[in-house]
Structure 1
Amino acid sequence: MNLTSDSFREHGAIPAVRSPQLSWDEVPAGTGSLALVCLDADAPADFFLWCVADIPPMLTWLDEGTGLALRHGLNDYGGFGYHGPRLAPNQTHQYIFRLYALDVVRLELPARFTGGQLLDAIYGHIIDEAQLIGAYTQT
């Protein structure tokens, strides 16, 4: 699988507020669903800005600032859906957008699932994965 974005290039600056546009291709045969996470790679522990479960495998992109009726989980700021970076002035962090192809159509998750619960649920169901890394600097 390949994961790309029209909103930023690999290791380039990600949007400050809205979720970036993401596109993917080469989804493996037998994929039942996709899952997406965005993690702050420089946080001391896993810190999720976004987690989405049960993305239909025929979907091949998400628009910037997407409001699609997808199964969004809680980000680590306490809300549903995407939350842009929030850093101290003059800090730069790397953000990993990771897409997983799964062998199940629907993950067993509570209605208010977290990124950690999503990663636990996909364990043993991953067929393939792709990632894209961006950066954000707070000025």
Structure 2
Amino acid sequence: MTSYTRLPSVLFAATLVTTGLPLAHAVNPVFLKVTIHDLDADGDLPDDAALCLPAVNGLPVRGRDRSPAVEWSNAPAETRSFVLIMTDPDVPLDVTLLRGPRPIPVEAARDTHYHWVLYDIPATTTSLPAGADGDGFSPHGKPATRTQWGQRGVNANTWLMAGNPRLKGTYAGYDGPCPPENDLKPHGYTITIYALDIDHLAAKPLMDGPDVQKAIEGHVLAKGEAVGHYSLNPALRKAVAE
């Protein structure tokens, strides 16, 4: 088993105020150490975590869609709950590029999609095993219910699948990577853990990532992140394999 942590806390501290939510108590800020397990030596997510695998003879192939194992530490003693959010900030903004024949350049404008939203995680929980919040694709989505790990929020598939009658529905919890095969940029899937000073969010039904980020404002005691990369571009996957 390989562990991989991106952005050590000492580096991550310098960007907290400008790129993320302010800490609730920032005089002596604490930063969580977050680890995604089972990444390879290059920091890539395993195929088991992906919703899509490389096409075979031009036909799409569905992946296992298994949520990765995640572990975190260094939470303040007064932590009362955690939030987990997994984003892909590398989604091409121009949707006409996604399945086109032309390669998507690295410098193409990008958007952020939310792949995993889990909140009200008990303060006693400091890790999630592989498959904890999804082990297999569920057509029409997994329900936005509370599990033993926390309350599921809504992910981007809710909107991405809305135009497909066979798949549309409310997708909650984890659904993994499905980057376009013609993208020249490996996507960086960022898992962020927030330690909060409250037990439960003042939540409304079907909270998505931005809803949760707004709800935790002023309650963040500590924060940390780790990144796992993934690509379906055959050239990039070949380069990694070699």
1:55-134 residue pairs with structure 2 within 5 A? 55-67=121-133, 68-69=147-148, 70-78=150-158, 79-91=171-183, 92-134=186-228
User: How large is the Cα RMSD of the aligned pairs?
Assistant: 1.6
Q: The residue matched to 1:47 in structure 2 has which SS?
A: strand
Identity %: 30
Matched, 1:29 2:77: yes
The TM-score with structure 2 as length reference comes to: 0.54
Classify 1:54/1:10 alpha carbon distance in 2 versus 1 (closer, same or farther; 3 Å): farther
Give 1:53's match in structure 2, choosing from 109, 119, 131. Answer: 119
Classify 1:124/1:22 alpha carbon distance in 2 versus 1 (closer, same or farther; 3 Å): same
**What is aligned with 2:68?**
20
Matched, 1:136 2:230: yes
Q: The residue matched to 1:120 in structure 2 has which SS?
A: helix
Q: The residue matched to 1:45 in structure 2 has which SS?
A: strand
Question: What is the CA deviation profile of residues 65-90 of structure 1, one whole-angstrom value per residue up to 9, with x for unaligned ones?
Answer: 11453201000111011011112114
Give how far 1:10 is off: 8.7
Classify 1:100/1:9 alpha carbon distance in 2 versus 1 (closer, same or farther; 3 Å): farther
Give how far 1:111 is off: 2.4
Classify 1:118/1:103 alpha carbon distance in 2 versus 1 (closer, same or farther; 3 Å): same
Classify 1:30/1:11 alpha carbon distance in 2 versus 1 (closer, same or farther; 3 Å): farther
Classify 1:105/1:5 alpha carbon distance in 2 versus 1 (closer, same or farther; 3 Å): same
Q: Which moved more, 1:61-70 or 1:71-80?
A: 61-70
| Structure 2: runs of 5 or more not aligned | 1-31, 51-64, 92-109, 134-146, 159-170, 235-242
Give how far 1:25 is off: 1.2
**Larger helix proportion, structure 1 or 2?**
2
Q: The residue matched to 1:42 in structure 2 has which SS?
A: strand
**Larger strand proportion, structure 1 or 2?**
1
| Contact residue 35 and residue 100 of structure 1 kept, 8 A | yes
Give how far 1:27 is off: 1.2
Structure of larger gyration radius: 2
Higher relative contact order (CA 8 A, sep 6+): 1
Matched, 1:38 2:86: yes
Classify 1:10/1:54 alpha carbon distance in 2 versus 1 (closer, same or farther; 3 Å): farther
Q: Provide the rounded CA distance (Å) in 2 between the counterparts of 1:51 and 1:124.
A: 19
Q: Provide the rounded CA distance (Å) in 2 between the counterparts of 1:10 and 1:41.
A: 22
| Structure 1: runs of 5 or more not aligned | none
The TM-score with structure 1 as length reference comes to: 0.92
